[in-house]
Structure 1
């Protein structure tokens, strides 16, 4: 939701940084790989019991890079199926790394992290199948279904789990419920969309 609503406010900053990097011959795929590398660091920081604040800061830096690669691709007109695949897959890798390390740190709530992972699988399955089945296109080179939980909301919830481990039970449960709601949003939109077409 925030990704869709707030994009117009942060786009000028993204465009400015993107143009600077383009002058330096940095490609969108380079930034996608950088976003993956930086996005995996928070899990390592948590695993070694280092600063939770540092983990959150690095996580959000990776999110900035994650938004930046698409801006570079659009400006340079180099959007590609490979870039889209890398972007989506690497996002999930970062999320999985956080879920795994938090589950290991809080084994008493392992079932909640399984529930969270299942909700992400459901939501992403609808997201990807609708994108594949639809002839619509959006800014991200495929039909993008907005929903309650997008990348920014996910980062907020992960940040809360990292910074406030004493509340991780309720945060993880709420996160799973929010993503399940997003799954239902996307599924019902798909039913409405494709029923209209038939």
Structure 2
């Protein structure tokens, strides 16, 4: 939701930063790798119980994740392999965060399994609709908007990291929001795929 509706406000910052990275010689794929490494280091910081550092790295990773696509568009170097790298690295970072939280908070492992299951279902719908749709957006595939997009996920992960006392409740709310998004995307898919 926020990614779709707020992108126009943040886009000038993303574009300027993308041009800086291009000037420094970074390709889109190199930025994807950098975003992935920063994102994975987030999990290490969660495990080390350094919440503020973990959250900071998470958001830096997310910002870099938006830069790689801008670099690809500006340099006209968008590729299927770049899209694959981006989507897979995003999911691996999320799994790393979930695993790190689960390792240090054994009492919420069931809730984390539920959350992971909802993410799998949501991504299955998202990617299937993207693959089946003839529509193309700004990205290299059809991007279905929904209640839970990347920014909302980062907000929920941030809350999970910063407020471990309420972890179970935050995780279940996160999972509920993802399920609502699944139904939104299925409803939209029924319209665009018919």
Q: Which TM-score applies when normalising by structure 1?
A: 0.96
Mapping of residues 176-195 of structure 1, within 5 Å: 176-195=175-194
> Root-mean-square deviation (CA), in Å?
0.8
Matches of 1:40 and 1:21 in 2, distance apart?
Answer: 21
Do the aligned residues in 1 keep the contact of 2:111 with 2:171 (CA within 8 Å)?
yes
Matches of 1:17 and 1:173 in 2, distance apart?
Answer: 35
Partner of 2:20: 20
Partner of 1:158: 157
Deviation at 1:17, TM superposition (A): 1.2
Partner of 1:62: 61
| Worse-superposed segment, 59-68 or 18-27 | 18-27
Mapping of residues 104-119 of structure 1, within 5 Å: 104-119=103-118
Aligned residues: 194
Partner of 1:30: 30
Partner of 1:122: 121
Partner of 1:9: 9
Matches of 2:81 and 2:54 in 1, distance apart?
Answer: 29
Deviation at 1:10, TM superposition (A): 1.0
Matches of 2:84 and 2:34 in 1, distance apart?
Answer: 15
Partner of 2:140: 141
Unaligned runs of 5+ in 2: none
Unaligned runs of 5+ in 1: none
Mapping of residues 92-103 of structure 1, within 5 Å: 92-103=91-102
Matches of 2:137 and 2:61 in 1, distance apart?
Answer: 23
Render the CA deviation track for 1:133-165: whole Å, top value 9, x for unaligned: 111101111100010001100000000000000
